[in-house]
Amino acid sequence: MTNTIDRRTLLRLAGASAGTAVLAGATLTGAAPAGAAGGAFRHGVASGDPLPDGVLLWTRLTPTDEAQPGSGVGPEAEVTWQVAADPDFATVVAQGALTTGPARDHTVKVAVTGLAPATTWWYRFGYAGAWSATGRTMTAPPADADIDRLRLGVVSCANWEAGYFSAYRNLADRGEVNLVVHLGDYLYEYGTGEFDAGGSVVRPVLPAHEVLTLADYRIRHALYKTDPDLQALHASVPWVITWDDHEVANDQWSGGAENHTPATEGDFADRVAAARQAYAEWMPVRTGADGAIYRRLRFGRLAELSMLDLRSYRSQQASGSAVDDPARTITGDAQMSWLKSGLAASTARWKLVGNPVMIARVDLATLPAWLLGPIGRLLGVPENGVVLNPDQWDGYNADRNELVDHLRATGTRDVVFLTGDIHTSWANEVTTRATGTATPAAVEFVVPSVTSDNVNDFLGLREGNALSVLGADLLRATNTHVRWTELDGHGYGVLEVTRQACRMDWYHLADRTRPGSASRWVAGWSVAAGSSTLRREAAPQA
């Protein structure tokens, strides 16, 4: 018998619109704790990695004015938490308390268990007589549940200095998204003015210098979580997150990064350790005993989501014939084995892969120099004209061939890669040079940046200019497996998963530099169950 999930459960996180998901910071006493200007929970609340019986909850406490992020000072303090079946907390189903302090930058993470599956829940944190804002979350359905529909908001690449996070607010206001998938570059490591909005700083970062130390990374995470649009989306639905390179440094690999100079910036391993500690403290994400972030979540029989880590285990970027070297890897051997076996064994209809960097091939051999400039900056193409993307799967052909060949050999179908990093919008069919374009093994939907610069920004032109449009046409003509691409827009994607099809719709902002910018639908593409061929879709009905 089909288990239909109603409005109080998975299909729509019901009971309140996204506009009311972040309730006013009501307090028990009517006042914030003494000495806590802006309130004790000024960095908002968040949830993540939902399971059938539980979910991860997060907040950050500011117990005194001195206990600022990255300061390493402030008292140990006890924080209470509650989970309820209603937004008024008339029916509290789980509660507890824990102690936080400067050793973990006064952050709070609670792995709540014992909850009913496929259900909407409300949660909050308490300290010194005051409550945090109220967040709304959900538990996943049982692994064997028949789910009709799942809607995911898909985002990546949010650069503070390049604009406002209106994409997050627009996603929160939709009121229909069950889950947000963030594919990396949640924050950027640069100092102020080093990567902004086409040469203009919209709002300066803290700290003003490039982040290197544990205190630096904590301060940068804290800055991001003061953004009201980011707070709204975190509080409205659970997130499933992975990292890309800028959570540490640009073009990171297992032993270094393009944006790290040991002689002046210290040992890279120390920098990674600092970045990873701050990330674990400030993000609502589960990690393995060894700190591994690649993991898998299931949503009934409809979908299984595998989130990848394509930075921690990869070989250093290379070019020329080295990109075909089977000894080089983007995933690492253990993660590749986990990915292949998990996809082949999955009993879910759709096998979704959270993939930080683009897996589809990109042949740039016939593109003109004016386009190779900005495209090269996005793809990491060297200035010497080597026409490949060494930072993405193009730079690790052996791993891509191994994965695609495995999908074909095992008859694994209905695999959909969800990708960020490249700041632009793409709908791709996944092939190798050996398999050609006639029989793709999977499809890929690439979402644009929330704010980070795109082709028109690098060219200094308006969005949708003739050169960008021509560039997109040339990319498709050179790469027939690229069914659609748009090179200028900033925004987000909405993925709708049903038994019959998996559809991505792209929404772009009117102006990333303006707070409260509206968004518009620009394209929709889908793949039918049992097929790996993309088809264009009309705009969704209002």
**Same domain membership, residue 289 and residue 154:** yes
Task: State the pTM of this model.
Answer: 0.92
pLDDT in tens, 433-492: 777 767 899 999 999 999 999 989 988 899 999 989 988 998 898 899 999 999 999 999
Please check whether residue 122 is in contact with residue 86, taking contact to mean a CB–CB distance below 8 angstroms.
yes
Q: What are phi and psi of 159, to 5 degrees?
A: -95, 115
Spatial distance between the Cα atoms of 440 and 482, rounded to a whole number of angstroms: 11
Q: pLDDT at position 316, please?
A: 98
**Same domain membership, residue 82 and residue 217:** no
Distances (CA, A) of 318 to 390, 396, 397: 6, 9, 11
Does 497 reside within a domain? Answer: yes
Q: According to DSSP H, which parts of 105-237 are helical? A: 166-174, 214-224, 228-236
Nearest CA among 534, 535, 540 for reference residue 520? 540
Which residues are 506's β-sheet partners? 493, 523
**Same domain membership, residue 309 and residue 280:** yes
**Same domain membership, residue 297 and residue 347:** yes
Of 109, 126, 145, the residue at which a domain comes to its end is 145
**Same domain membership, residue 153 and residue 56:** no
Of 111, 145, 179, the residue at which a domain comes to its end is 145
**Same domain membership, residue 177 and residue 163:** yes
Q: pLDDT at position 320, please?
A: 80
- Which two three-digit tokens encode residue 211? 């982040």
Number of domains in the chain: 2
Mean pLDDT calculated for residue range 68-90 = 98
**Same domain membership, residue 199 and residue 101:** no
**Same domain membership, residue 523 and residue 456:** yes
What CATH number is attached to the domain comprising 390?
Answer: 3.60.21.70
**Same domain membership, residue 342 and residue 322:** yes
Q: Which residue segment(s) compose the domain that 335 sits in?
A: 147-537
Is pLDDT above 90 for 240? yes
What CATH number is attached to the domain comprising 10?
Answer: 2.60.40.380
More confident residue, 28 or 443: 443
Does 19 reside within a domain? Answer: yes
**Same domain membership, residue 398 and residue 298:** yes
Spatial distance between the Cα atoms of 159 and 246, rounded to a whole number of angstroms: 10
Q: pLDDT at position 381, please?
A: 52
**Same domain membership, residue 161 and residue 104:** no
Does 542 reside within a domain? Answer: no
Of 121, 145, 169, the residue at which a domain comes to its end is 145
pLDDT in tens, 380-435: 554 333 445 789 999 999 999 999 999 999 999 999 999 999 999 999 999 987 77
Handedness of CA 125, 131, 132, 134 (dihedral sign): positive
Q: Is 324 helix (H, G, I), strand (E, B) or coil?
A: helix
**Same domain membership, residue 387 and residue 286:** yes
pLDDT in tens, 81-99: 999 999 999 999 999 999 9
